[in-house]
Amino acid sequence: MAHPPVHRRELLLGLGLTLAFAAAQAAVGLAFGSIALVSDAGHMLTDAVGLGLAFLAATIAARPPDARRTFGYARAEVLAVPLHVALLAGIAAFIVYESLGRLDGSHTIRTGPVLVTAALGLGVNLLVLRILHGHSHDNLNIRGAVLEAMADALGSVLVIVSAAAIALGASPALDPIAALLIAALILPRAVNLLRQAGAILLESAPPGLDPRAIAAAARDVQGVLDLHDVHVWSIAPSFPALSAHVELADAGCTEHVLTDLAALFRERFGIVHVTLQPETPALHLAIACCSSPDAALLDAGHAHEPARS
């Protein structure tokens, strides 16, 4: 099964816009003394890296499966996530370090250029959100970049508010305070992105797919005695998979029962990649599949008499 296509043209457009404006924000922030604007530039840089990783992962994931990588390269995007998270953490640490030294309000800030640049940055973030929002459900790195763009838009608002307040006579300490708030927006998303990637690498059941509910629905299919040794996982966020053993009332109806189960999993649960092992009760007892540790975890209520010699 091929990994769903990712719109690489949109990725490149979002990457170009974000990277270009991150450089502009950093230059203006350094030139006119605003650590908040530099922080927002750093935040936009993480957006650009996320988009770049998403583009690279999408390019790799588009490669077809081969004899060794039978699922293809769909997990390339998941492997890129730790790099993205490391950059997020590094940017946040830099922002905190620089901001703490400016809390005394002794730094001079030229608010006019800072206000204009932050307002333009807000516009760029909203444009990138519009470009990418429709594709975020298919790719972890795009999802991360979309979340960052949303938070970066809020970061631009913080820069605008702090610069406007300073222009009206407030303490310049508002600028590093705004920068610290921007840093606070970064770390929770980094943790969440890493958690999502970890769930996929640990082959956890995807959100919204409960193996017990799936097994219960399967038992309502005519001809199914039981569904056990059920495993539900995802190769990538939009690539769920399922494997299970199916006990059949009549081995002669195998084709019809498996067809009905495949339709159930596809239409009700959105699982297209399905691997089912049909078994008669006698075969189930003979191969003792329920004695495996992984089967015992999900099939604690499943019991049968031991096979007699």
Using alpha carbons, select from 148, 135, 146 the residue that is nearest to residue 58. Answer: 135
Tell me: do 51 and 175 sit in the same domain.
yes
The Cα 286–Cα 111 span in angstroms is 78
- 249 in a structural domain: yes
- 308 in a structural domain: no
| Per-residue pLDDT reduced to its tens digit, 228-239 | 889 999 887 778
Number of domains composing the chain? 2
Task: Say if residue 180's pLDDT is above 60.
Answer: yes
Tell me: do 158 and 225 sit in the same domain.
no
Tell me: do 147 and 240 sit in the same domain.
no
| Per-residue pLDDT reduced to its tens digit, 59-106 | 777 788 888 888 888 787 787 788 878 888 888 888 898 889 888 877
Check residue 292 and give its pLDDT. 60
Tell me: do 219 and 171 sit in the same domain.
no
| Per-residue pLDDT reduced to its tens digit, 76-86 | 778 778 887 88
Average pLDDT rounded to a whole number, residues 19-36: 88
Task: Compare 169 and 135 and report the one with higher pLDDT.
Answer: 169
Q: Which amino acid is at 289?
A: C
Last residue of one domain, picked from the residues 149, 181, 201? 201
Range of the domain at 263: 211-298
Task: For residue 183, count CB atoms less than 10 angstroms from its CB and return exposed for 0-12, middle for 13-18, buried for 19 or more.
Answer: buried
Tell me: do 167 and 288 sit in the same domain.
no
Tell me: do 193 and 276 sit in the same domain.
no
Last residue of one domain, picked from the residues 183, 201, 219? 201
218 pLDDT band (50/70/90 cuts)? very high
Length of the chain: 309
Check residue 296 and give its pLDDT. 46
Average pLDDT, the chain: 81
Check residue 211 and give its pLDDT. 92
- 305 in a structural domain: no
CATH at 252: 3.30.70.1350
Task: Compare 288 and 283 and report the one with higher pLDDT.
Answer: 283
Q: State percent of the chain over pLDDT 70.
A: 84
Using alpha carbons, select from 44, 52, 6, 46 the residue that is nearest to residue 24. Answer: 44
Tell me: do 150 and 234 sit in the same domain.
no
Last residue of one domain, picked from the residues 151, 173, 201? 201
Check residue 7 and give its pLDDT. 57
